[in-house]
Structure 1
Amino acid sequence: MKTISNQLSLVILAGGMGSRYKGQKQVDPIGPNRESLMEYSIYDAMEVGIKHFVFIVNQNFDNETKKYYQKLIEKKEAHVEFILQTTYTAVSRDFFDNIIDRQKPWGTGHALLCAKSHVLNPFIVINADDFYGRNAYKMAMQFITNENITPNKYGIIAYELGKTLSENGSVSRGICKISNQILKDVVEHTNILRSGETIVFEEDNISGIMDESTPVSMNFWVLHPSVFKVLEHQFEEFMKQNSKELKKEFFLPQVINQLIHDDIVEVIVENSKDQWFGMTYPGDKHIVQDEIMEKISEGIYPKHLWV
């Protein structure tokens, strides 16, 4: 297996099933020349010097699509790998017989675990259907420059809650508690939406108001390969309890949160002021297209991304 040492890799979580979006949002055409949203993430990563890309994909990510991304990445003298995430990938054989009717993989923690043997140096994790802005990648590279990514020190780029909402429905967000630029806690809220001028959350018969500037995790992590050993252990424990479940998920933020609370890892926070946008609902597509066209008009991206 080819590896690239002393480089920051980018792991793209592109294996989601898109149940609310009703389609393969990872590769849905967004740009003026049918570029997908994650192509802009790849472009931003290349702009800061990243040369190693790892895609975690599902079975709908066909060979023609792989060839397309391989060609555009290798044309830029970078290296790419594709890893298929299925319900059974990285699952101990002890649990195979329990997985009968489950149709989807086990979530973001499971997705990253699939990359265990492919990432041997510090890396960024992102969602394929999210736009983070180039500054996030610059800040990630600064973590590396400052030697802040080690076996017991990770990084996260946090966003302001008010800049991460959808006009088309509620969203799930990891609410971050931060002290002196160190992440102390991430609590997942699964039903956040804007109601008039106010941001509210409603879940488990509890409701409340949230501030616009509340820092949230959008799954932009900068991690060290030491995380894989922990992922493996915690996923095994998760499967002991949930291997027969149809919808339970093994979330990456929960794994990192456990490391924080056990005083194993310190997570440094950089706050992004950029507007996030992404593809959660079908109605988000035209908003994302408009945002991309605006950035093209501002000269941030060329109209033809790969010419």
Structure 2
Amino acid sequence: MKPTLLVLAAGMGSRYGSLKQMDGIGPNKEAIIDYSIYDAIRAGFGKVVFVIRHSFGSEFREVFNPERFGGKIAVEYVFQELDNLPEGYSVPEGREKPWGTNHALMMGASVVREPFAVINADDFYGQDAIAQMGKYLAALPEGSEGEYAMVGYEVSKTLSENGTVSRGVCTIDAAGYLESIVERTKIERQNGQIVYIEADGTHPLAENTPVSMNLFGFTPDYFRHSEAFFKTFLDQAIASGNLKAEYFIPLLVNKLVSEHTAKLKVLHTTSPWFGVTYKEDRPGTVQKVLDLIAAGVYPRSLWGE
């Protein structure tokens, strides 16, 4: 069974200043999503599922439609909204944004029945990274549960020159499996040293610290675990009055790994990561894509237009 690619594209890119998922950075206005899907097709993925919002759904579907990809991959759409909550729960007064990356992932449960990879729409993961994930998922025995994976990147290769970034900081055991992952929402380089910033101050990170860029691979049982723990997350967020609490993928992954409910293999990649966290990141991203085209990694026109 071919794996599925689940693309988290519901974020409106408030820091970037536009609907960055649709911003053309390639020579023919290809978006970062296009390169990820191109890589997924040649890695053997059979379907792409976009997680989007109703507020821009029509515009998004007009651009990223099945015809765009020449029938080379099946396409489906699901929607993440603030009020996508379990029965008996309601949106707390004052809450404005949906509930984070794992909440977005949960929207795929109705259309995903096979092993699947998860990516952010605005991150450029690279051919090797997606190929490695595709190979891992395709090799899983049918009916596998709790056999997860993640592509790890060195934190020094994932920073922006234009502001802080959010990364899942990982600890890995000697066999290459994840021991723990902690979401750090403010990482940057200060005076030559990489640090993460918390309420109690700054904390150093080694240059080669492995981090998650939300390129995960899961078996379908992950949806069941996600739904169950979402209620616990909501209870804690509501009880604490935290109107900005987010249900991050690393939050649940860390729980399942620490309880030995699942194990997660960390895959290493030769691919460069880059993205457009901020509007100022765009020129560098455009040039890096041109460099990859010049190196023969991608054709100048992805879809033959």
Could you list the per-position Cα deviations for residues 173-225 of structure 1 after superposition, in whole angstroms to 9, with x for gaps in the alignment?
Answer: 11110011110000122221112432122212232322111110000001000
The 3 A distance-change label for structure 1 pair 67 and 95 is same
Q: In terms of mean alpha carbon deviation, does 55-64 or 29-38 score higher?
A: 55-64
Could you list the per-position Cα deviations for residues 37-88 of structure 1 after superposition, in whole angstroms to 9, with x for gaps in the alignment?
Answer: 1111011101112120100001343324313322345523321111111101
Verify: 1:233 aligned to 2:228, yes or no: yes
Q: In terms of mean alpha carbon deviation, does 142-151 or 131-140 score higher?
A: 142-151
Verify: 1:120 aligned to 2:113, yes or no: yes
Q: In terms of mean alpha carbon deviation, does 221-230 or 135-144 score higher?
A: 135-144
Structure 2 residue aligned with 1:258: 255
Structure 2 residue aligned with 1:11: 6
What is the aligned counterpart of 1:103 among 83, 96, 105? Answer: 96
Matched to 1:277, the amino acid is F
Partner Cα distance (1:72, 1:210) in 2: 44
Structure 1 residue aligned with 2:28: 33
Q: Secondary structure, in 3 states, of the residue corresponding to 1:185?
A: strand
What is the aligned counterpart of 2:158 among 154, 164, 184? Answer: 164
Q: Aligned-pair distance for 1:238?
A: 1.5
The 3 A distance-change label for structure 1 pair 265 and 148 is farther
Q: In terms of mean alpha carbon deviation, does 105-114 or 267-276 score higher?
A: 267-276
Q: Secondary structure, in 3 states, of the residue corresponding to 2:267?
A: strand
Partner Cα distance (1:36, 1:60) in 2: 20
Structure 2 residue aligned with 1:273: 270
Aligned-pair identity (%): 37
Q: How many residues align?
A: 300
RMSD: 1.7
Moved over 4 A (4+): none
What is the aligned counterpart of 2:128 among 114, 120, 135? Answer: 135
Structure 2 residue aligned with 1:300: 297
User: Where does 1:44-83 land on structure 2 (aligned, <5 Å)?
Assistant: 44-72=39-67, 75-83=70-78
Structure 2 residue aligned with 1:291: 288
TM-score relative to the length of structure 1 = 0.92
Partner Cα distance (1:53, 1:145) in 2: 15
Matched to 1:122, the amino acid is P
Matched to 2:231, the amino acid is E
Q: Secondary structure, in 3 states, of the residue corresponding to 1:116?
A: helix
Partner Cα distance (1:140, 1:207) in 2: 33
Gap regions ≥5 residues in structure 2: none
Partner Cα distance (1:53, 1:73) in 2: 13
Matched to 2:43, the amino acid is V
Partner Cα distance (2:69, 2:269) in 1: 30
Q: Aligned-pair distance for 1:145?
A: 4.5
Partner Cα distance (1:292, 1:196) in 2: 29
